[in-house]
Structure formats: C-alpha cells, structure tokens
Amino acid sequence: MLADLPAVPAALFIGGQLAKGAAVTLEITVLAEALVLVMALLIALMRLSPWRALRWAATLYVEVLRGISALVLLFYLYFILPLFDITLSPMATGVIGLGLTFSAYGSEIVRSALVNVSQGQRDALRALDFPPGVGLRRIILPQALPVMLPPLGNQLVELMKTTSLVSLITLTDLTFAGGQLITTLGQQALIWSLVLLCYFAMAWPLTVLVRRYESHLTAWRRPKE
C-alpha cells in the first residue's frame, strides 16, 4: 500500500502520525514520573517511620504493587473500576497505573539512598535540635540525591518504554500509532523500525539529562585543578 503513495506525502503522513503518538508517550511519561517521585518519597519515608502502622502500610503497598503485572493493573483500572461506578479516562488510567507500579520500585531506591546517609549526620541533627522536615530537606536529601539519581534515571527510561502498554487501553501512543500505520499502509519492517528509532530518540536525551544533573550534583566531590 505504501508504494501506491507519492514518497513525500507518505513520509509526511508517517512522520506526523508517529510524532502525535510520541507526544502522547512523552505526556504520559512526564505525568507518571511526577506521580512516581511523589509517591516514592512518601512511601520511603513511611518505611523509615518510627510508627509501626505506617511501616506496615508502606511495606504492603510496595509488596503488592511489585507483585502485580503493570498490564493487568491497567486493565483493572480501565475495565473493572467502571463496574463500581468509578470511570477513569485512558490518560488518567495510564498515568495512575504506571505511576503506582513504578513508585513501588522507586520507593526502595529512595529508601536505600536515605539509609545510606550516615547515622552520625542524623545524630548531629538531633543534637542541634533541627526540626525533622528541615533536617530532611536541607541535610539528608541533598546527600542522598546523588545516590538515588542514577537508578531513578534508569527507571525513568524504563517507564518511558513501558508506556507502550497503554496502547492496549485505546490510547494512541507511539506503539498504537505504529500499529495503525501498519494497518493502513502495510510495511511492518519499515514502520516498526521507525518506532524503535523514535523510542531511542526519546530515551537517549533523558539519559543524557540525568547524567548531566548527576554530574552537577557531584561537582563538589571532584578535586579542583
């Protein structure tokens, strides 16, 4: 079918459809990652809480979501919740489903980075009578952030690639757009190759940005010439 179209209009059509799908993929990635960061920090702090009830609730959250398939969770949110009069849009379903799934893993990254800060720092905060929130924001987090940033950056890239699952709940993301183009034009090898290149083109800048931010955060550790 593709051979029946003039080369330039066909290229513009394919490029336009893939660009629209890529925009949806990036939108889901940004919104879901925002949810991941908020929930990961919250759950990590609950895991480190002195109150047993909070620790148990956070542990249950992590274990349940790590044991559930992200795809099945998306199906449950999109197809089962309406049976209980709770209806989510495809975009909200994708953001919430992926955000919750990845926040369970992200919380362990954040927790381990916070625990990595030496006990001496915490003792000093208590000795100086720092409010817990101020101590966390100004002393603990700045030291933990360089430790948690590389694995969180890898998780961000993985989240972006996992957004392909939302194509199964009617969202026209990059994967769904590629499938539609194959249905319309054929040429599976060409279309899927372009989709692969699009995912790489979106993932590589994310990796570079995370590395640059990590380098900026750890600049003080490098010896000055």
Question: Is position 43 within any domain?
Answer: yes
Q: Is residue 223 part of a domain?
A: no
Closest CA to 45 of 140, 150, 156: 140
Q: What is the CATH number of the domain that holds 96?
A: 1.10.3720.10
pTM of the model: 0.86
Nearest of 186, 175, 199 to residue 10 by alpha carbon? 186
CA distance 194 to 192: 5
Q: Which two tokens stand for residue 135?
A: 């101590």
58/43 Cα distance (integer angstroms): 6
Question: Domain containing 118: what range?
Answer: 2-216
Tell me the two tokens of residue 190. 């060409």
- Give the integer Cα–Cα distance in Å for 147 and 114: 9
Please report whether residue 221 resides in a domain.
no
pLDDT tens by residue, the chain, 225 residues: 544 555 557 778 888 889 999 999 999 999 999 999 999 999 999 998 889 999 999 999 999 999 999 999 999 999 999 999 999 999 999 999 999 999 999 999 999 988 887 677 676 777 776 676 667 777 788 888 888 888 999 999 999 999 999 999 988 899 988 888 888 887 888 889 999 999 999 999 988 888 888 777 666 555 554
Q: Give the C-alpha separation, 129 to 36, whole Å.
A: 31
Tokens 């336009």 correspond to what residue? 16
Domain annotation covers residue 189:
yes
Model pLDDT, residue 55: 93
Q: Is residue 14 part of a domain?
A: yes
CB 110 within 8 A of CB 44: yes
Place of tokens 């101020």: 134
Query: Among 158, 154, 143, 151, which residue's Cα sits nearest to residue 217?
Result: 143
Res 184: pLDDT: 83
Asked if the structure places residue 100 within a domain, the reply is yes
Number of domains in the chain: 1
| Assigned domain for 144 exists | yes
pLDDT of residue 3: 47
Q: Does 225 fall in a domain?
A: no
Query: Amino acid identity of 89?
Result: S
d(CA 136, CA 142): 8
Q: Which two tokens stand for residue 202?
A: 């979106």
Nearest to 101 by CA among 61, 148, 60: 61
> Could you tell me the two tokens for 203?
């993932």
